[in-house]
């Protein structure tokens, strides 16, 4: 039988935590980049006038909008924590297997904890 390519079912491959953190870092960066025009527009509208600021306050008091903002906060905090992790890895800090796994768990926990703290502030 000839050497045929091996079929890899990507849904059955279990990615390790550092790999998941890497993918989430890329996704969070892309989402933050795509949300940047909207965030800049909201900031610009908030400084136009007092009436526009009050309109934005009423808009952001909606629960669904708060959930979207909370998701953006999570993206920011995850991207920040993972970025610090990658800077440390670039400096050869925590490149051993156990240290890399531990730092990926810290990134996940740090992003969630910071998001919860921010969520307490906006609710």
Classify domain 17-122 by CATH architecture.
Answer: Up-down Bundle (1.20)
pLDDT in tens, 66-119: 999 999 999 999 999 999 999 999 999 999 999 999 999 999 999 999 999 999
Distance CA 1, CA 83 (A): 47
Average pLDDT over residues 63-67: 96
The answer on pLDDT for 2 being more than 80 is: no
State pTM to two decimals.
0.87
Percent share of the chain, pLDDT over 90: 86
Supply the pLDDT for residue 51.
96
**Using an 8 Å Cβ cutoff, are 23 and 109 in contact?**
no
**Where residue 26 falls among pLDDT bands split at 50, 70, 90?**
very high
What is the mean predicted confidence (pLDDT) over 56-60? 96
Average pLDDT over residues 23-47: 97
The pLDDT of residue 67 is: 96
Contact in structure between 36 and 74 (CB atoms under 8 Å) = no
Residues 103 and 94: beta-carbon distance below 8 Å: yes
Q: pLDDT > 70: what percent of the chain? A: 98
Other C-beta atoms closer than 10 Å to the C-beta of 61 total 10
Provide the mean pLDDT of the chain: 94
Q: At what angle do helices 63-90 and 17-46 cross, to 10 degrees?
A: 130
């Amino acid at each position: 039988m000839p050497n045929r390519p091996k079929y890899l079912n990507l849904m059955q491959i279990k990615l390790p935590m550092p790999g998941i953190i890497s993918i989430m870092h890329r996704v969070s960066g892309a989402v933050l980049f795509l949300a940047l025009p909207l965030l800049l527009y909201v900031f610009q509208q908030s400084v136009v006038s007092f009436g526009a600021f009050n309109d934005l306050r009423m808009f952001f008091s909606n629960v669904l909008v708060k959930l979207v903002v909370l998701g953006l906060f999570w993206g920011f905090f995850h991207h920040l924590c993972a970025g610090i992790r990658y800077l440390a890895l670039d400096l050869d800090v925590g490149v051993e297997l156990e240290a890399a796994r531990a730092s990926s768990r810290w990134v996940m926990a740090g992003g969630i904890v910071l998001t919860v703290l921010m969520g307490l502030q906006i609710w």
